[in-house]
Amino acid sequence: MSLLRGKVVVITGASSGIGETAARLLASQGAHLIIGARRVERLEALASDIRAEGGTVAVQQLDVTDLEQMQEFLKAAQSRFGRVDAVINNAGVMPLSPLEALKIEEWNRMIDVNIRGVLHGIAAGLPIMKEQGFGHFINIASIGAYEVSPTAAVYCATKYAVRAISEGLRLETAGQGIRVTLVSPGVTESELAESITDNEAREVMKEYRRIALPATAIARAIMYALEQPDNVDVSEMVIKPVI
Ligand code: NDP
């Protein structure tokens, strides 16, 4: 029997890419899911597919930049399934550009979704996990959490922040039954690059995308962390394409 059977897993940003693929994989292993994103029609289509395969899933519209919506999302998981085993803070945006282009609205959007969104997931999930005495945060960072590349200064800054926050959370929750996993993908097939408005950055990404990993590679890493026994903390995973 799958080790994930009956685990209650909350996924942000499940309407495409890594989040969607993780939802399909985890549901196929018997996890009970609640999936969130802004494009609720995409979530409903995904949920129909999952249910048709015999999976268990609830859908909720979610903007991770709104703390109240995140709290409602976690409360919905708790009241529907009775507990929360894991929160996958996956939602993210990546409108890359050189700093000198001064795309300040795009910087702010990355900060809001990639950093505040993860903090909101923690703010909503941590009280529930502390009360339960168990729980697992899986925060999706990037190889950009380890090194900076041109046009990606702000994006990388947000992912460095996710790495720092994850490590701080691990240290501060020691002894409370709460685990923290940082998953850092290299370039992966998804819709992430579609928000790039800067021509130079878009061209660079096209080159990278030739070697992109399938999103299943990241979904399997997430599944690996979730399948471990309670006394095993998978702290960090970096998954890169072979070049
Ligand atoms: P996608 O663009 O395919 O998916 C991003 C998801 O985030 C979508 O479901 C989107 O849903 C959601 N999202 C964006 N903004 C918000 C918001 N304000 N509130 C709620 N959900 C939101 O990209 P990926 O699957 O690639 O991205 C998933 C994660 O993986 C991100 O954190 C990204 O930074 C990270 N990553 C991706 C890499 C890659 O090469 N693909 C490499 C390294 C890291 P909606 O628009 O419906 O709200």
Would 138 be classed as within a structural domain?
yes
Is residue 26 situated within a structural domain? Answer: yes
Q: Assess if residue 2 is contained within a domain.
A: no
Would you call 160 a catalytic residue per the annotation?
no
Q: Which tokens is 108 given?
A: 């702010």
Q: Domain limits at 215?
A: 8-239
Identify whether the C-beta of residue 64 lies closer than 8 Å to the C-beta of residue 87.
Answer: no
CB 156 near ligand 1, within 6 Å:
no
| Number of residues assigned to the chain | 243
Cα(20) to ligand 1 centroid in Å equals: 10
**Domain count along the chain:** 1
Cα gap 237→225, rounded to integer Å: 9
Instruction: Judge if the beta carbon of residue 16 lies within 6 A of ligand 1.
Output: yes
Residue 153 lies in a domain: yes
Q: Distance, CA 1 to ligand 1 centroid (Å)?
A: 31
CA of 190 to the centre of ligand 1 (A): 8
| pLDDT at res. 236 | 98
Q: In DSSP terms, which residues pair with 213 in a beta bridge?
A: 188
- For residue 207, the model assigns a pLDDT of 86
Spans in the chain with pLDDT lower than 70: 1
Question: Which ligand 1 atom lies nearest to the CA of residue 218?
Answer: 30
Q: Tell whether pTM > 0.80.
A: yes
pLDDT score for 179 = 98
Q: What is the pLDDT of residue 133?
A: 97
Q: Is residue 199 part of a domain?
A: yes
- Distance in Å, CA 179 to ligand 1 centroid: 22
Q: Among 146, 155, 208, 224, which one carries the catalytic annotation? A: 155
| Count of Cβ atoms closer than 10 Å to residue 162 Cβ | 24
Angle at alpha carbon of residue 214, lines to 170 and 89, rounded to 5°: 30
The single-letter DSSP state of residue 212 is P
34 occurs within a structural domain: yes
* CB of residue 152 inside a 6 A radius of ligand 1: no
DSSP state for residue 143 in the 8-state scheme: G
Kindly give the distance from the C-alpha atom of residue 21 to the centroid of ligand 1, in angstroms, as a whole number: 12
The CB of 37 under 6 Å from ligand 1? The reply is: yes
Is residue 35 domain-resident?
A: yes
Query: Residue 34: its pLDDT value, please?
Result: 98
Cα angle 184-110-151, degrees, rounded to a multiple of 5: 75
Q: What is the best residue among 21, 41, 190, 196 to mutate for testing ligand 1's pocket, by most ligand atoms within 8 Å of CB?
A: 190
Task: For residue 177, give the CATH number of its domain.
Answer: 3.40.50.720
Q: Which run of H or of E encompasses 56?
A: strand 56-61
Per the domain annotation, does 1 fall within a domain? no
Q: Is the CB of 62 under 6 A from ligand 1?
A: yes
